[in-house]
A and B are shown apart, each in its own frame.
Chain A
Amino acid sequence: MASTPVGTLYRGGEGMWTWVLHRITGVSVFFFLLVHVLDTALVRVSPESYDLVIASYKTPIVNLLEVGLVGAVLYHALNGLRIILIDFWARGPRYQRQMTWAIATVWIVLMVPGTFFMLKHTFEAMFGSAA
C-alpha cells in the first residue's frame, strides 16, 4: 500500500474517510427520506394501506435496516458537528483528527444501547423472551 501523503489535511487520512462516509450516509439518508415521505403519505389514503406498509417496517430484515439508517443519520450528525467546529472554531482544523475519534466514541456509546432497544422486539419474536 502506498504511504499516506504528508502535509495535506485530507488525502488518505481520517479527514478523507470521514468526508467519504459523510457523502455516502448523506445520499443514503436522502433516498430513504424520499421513500419515507411517500409511505407516510398513505395516511391520506386509508388507515389500512398505511398500517400495511408500516407492517413491513416491523419485519426482522427491515428492522435491521433501520439500525443502519439510525447509524447513518447519527454519523452524519456527529461528523456535521465536527465540520462546523473545523469551520468556525479557531483550533478546529488542528484538532480535526482528535474530533474524528471523539465522534467515533460517541457513535459507539449511543449505538450500543440504541441497537439493543431497536432490535429487542425482533429478538424476542425470533428466539423467545429471555426473561
Chain B
Amino acid sequence: MSAPTQPGPMSIPAPRTPQRNSQRSNLELYSWLFMRISGIVLIFLVLGHLLIMNVLDGGVQRINFAFVAGRWSSPFWQTWDLLMLWLAMIHGTNGMRTIINDYAERDQTRFWLKMLLYVASGFTVLLGTLVIFTFDPNIG
C-alpha cells in the first residue's frame, strides 16, 4: 500500500483542520443581537414618537418651534430623543451595511458605499446630538 499522497493546492482541507486565518471575531454575532435588542427598545421609542407627533391631539398640525421648546425643556424628552436618535441611527446604519454587503459585489464598490454610509451616519448622529444638547429656546 502506498502512503497517503500530499493534498494538492486545490484540495479541500480535511475535516477539523485548524483554521489558518484564525482572526475570527464575534462582531457579526453582536451586530445580529444588537438589531434585536435595539429593535425592541425602538418599538417603544419610535412608535411613541409617531403617536405623539402625528396622531394624538391634532398631530403634525400643532408642531412648531414653541412646541419643540416646550418638550425639550424636559430632561425626560431630551433623553428620549437622544436615545432614539442613537439607537435608530446605529440600527439603520447596520441594516444598510447588511444590504450593501448583500448587493454590492465588487470589493471596491462595497468599501466605498460603506464609507459613504458611515460618514453620512456619523455626521447625522453628531449633528442631532449637538442640536439636542445646545438647544436654545430664546434663539433669534
Contact = CB atoms under 8 A, between A and B. Distances in A.
A92 interface: no
Contacts of A84: 36, 39-40
B55 A114 contact: yes
A30 B92 contact: yes
Given A46-B139, A51-B64, A54-B64, A40 B131 contact: yes
Interface in B37-74: 39-40, 42-43, 46-47, 50, 54-56, 58-61, 63-66, 68-69
Secondary structure at the A interface, as helix, strand, loop or mixed, is helix
5 contacts: A44-B135, A47-B140, A54-B63, A66-B54, A69-B50
Interface of A: 23, 26-27, 29-30, 33-34, 37-38, 40-41, 43-48, 50-51, 54, 57-58, 63, 66, 69-70, 73-74, 77, 80-81, 83-84, 87-88, 114, 117-118, 120-121
A117 B65 contact: no
A63 B50 CA distance: 13
Contact of B88 (A33, A44, A47): A33
A120 B60 CA distance: 11
Contacts of B135: 43-44
Interface stretch (B5-13, B21-29, B105-113, B120-128): B120-128
B134 A44 contact: yes
B58 A121 contact: yes
Nearest to B56: A117
Contacts of B120: 34
The 10 closest A-B CB pairs, nearest first, are A47-B65, A30-B92, A46-B140, A37-B128, A80-B39, A121-B61, A77-B43, A117-B55, A41-B131, A37-B124
A40 B84 CA distance: 14
A80 B44 CA distance: 13
B78 to A, nearest CB: 13
Contacts of A87: 36
Given A37-B124, A41-B127, A43-B65, 9 more contacts: A33-B124, A34-B120, A41-B131, A43-B69, A58-B61, A77-B39, A77-B43, A81-B40, A83-B36
Contact of A27 (B65, B99, B124, B134): B99
Contact of A48 (B39, B42, B85, B140): B140
